Chains A and B, each alone.
Chain A
Amino acid sequence: MEFVVFLIAGAIVVGGAIGVLAFANPVHAALSLVATLFGVAVLFVAQDAQFLAAVQVIVYAGAIVVLFLFVIMLLGVDRSDDLRVEPIVAQRPLALLAGVGVLAASLVAVLSAGGSTATRTVRSTAVAIPTDEPDITSLGRLLFTDHVLAFEITAILLTVAVVGAVVLARRPGRDEPSVEADVEAEA
């Protein structure tokens, strides 16, 4: 059963990723990205990570892609790229070569380590995945005990990101000098 789920979700993931790569219109690429993110969420569910699948759909498909679409449409940059031009000579063959190299290296590493018992040894500090309680309960307990410092730091990070986004994206008021005026005054 998991095999069927893996095949379908994997096809959606790879197809969506190729769509992001190949669609000339950024809006189509963003919608193709949604398909990939949903496929990854399905694969999370197939691996008993239900909470992460929900977060994946809510945060990635719900928030990040919508943010992408907002920026694309509000700024009017949704005209298609001309994919026929190649800005740098031999850029695409070299990029494809690099991609195939990355893929080959990862696959060799995975398949050579796949059968060995070294990957099966569990660290002594490992937090076992409990089977008698929901995934979210144990994950929440882990986040608020072992990883509580990292959790607090992500709170600071999100605050900094929000403040930074507001500072970067807002228009300067009429009375205050803009960044351009500062640059020209210094020059």
Chain B
Amino acid sequence: MFVAQTLPTVTASWYVSLAALLFAIGAVGLLVRRNPLVMFMCVELMLNAVNLTFVAFARSMGDLGGQALVFFVMVVAAAEVVVGLAIMVALLRRRPDATTADDVAALRG
């Protein structure tokens, strides 16, 4: 009982704030890092942040639809990673020296 009185209650705002922090870190990483694999990982961080907000809102509003949406986001993220990594494999096989995103500027106008 003593513990319950002293510790603050964790509301949905806390989870959404943490998700905002996670999203911001992912966005900064995507802008700063030049290794395409690490940039992919930062995209995953941002997707996870959004999933966290979905679950937090699903609980605070008592709607299971938020959790269903997280399920679909996970599926799309998996497909995105599979295709993105396949593109990287094909790219690095043709040009083994292209290890940063700046080396792949052939489409630049």
Contact = CB atoms under 8 A, between A and B. Distances in A.
A75 B55 CA distance: 36
Interface SS of chain B: helix, strand, loop or mixed?
Answer: helix
A8 interface: no
A62 to B, nearest CB: 11
Interface in A130-187: 135, 138-139, 142-143, 146-147, 150, 154, 157-158, 160-162, 164-166, 168-169, 171, 180
A66 B54 CA distance: 25
Nearest to B81: A64
A139 B86 contact: no
B89 to A, nearest CB: 4
Interface string B29-69: 10111110110111011001001100111111111110110
Contacts of B104: none
Interface string A115-143: 00001101100111100000100110011
Contact of A20 (B11, B45, B89): B45
Interface in A38-66: 40, 43-44, 46-49, 51-52, 55-56, 59-60, 63-64
B28 A96 contact: yes
Nearest to A64: B81
B48 A40 contact: yes
A94 B27 CA distance: 12
Contact of B68 (A77, A96, A142): A142
Contact of B62 (A21, A126, A147): A126
A122 B28 contact: no
A107 B49 CA distance: 13
Interface of B: 3, 7-18, 20-29, 31-35, 37-38, 40-42, 44-45, 48, 51-52, 55-65, 67-68, 70-72, 74-83, 85-90, 92-94, 99-100, 102
Given A103-B20, A114-B12, 18 more contacts: A6-B15, A30-B41, A33-B45, A43-B15, A60-B44, A63-B78, A64-B44, A64-B78, A68-B41, A71-B85, A81-B33, A99-B24, A106-B17, A123-B63, A157-B75, A157-B79, A161-B78, A166-B86
Q: Which 8 A-B pairs have the closest CB atoms?
A: A106-B20, A99-B28, A95-B31, A161-B79, A103-B24, A165-B86, A168-B86, A126-B63
13 contacts: A1-B7, A21-B33, A52-B67, A60-B44, A60-B48, A77-B92, A95-B31, A95-B32, A98-B31, A102-B27, A106-B24, A160-B79, A161-B83
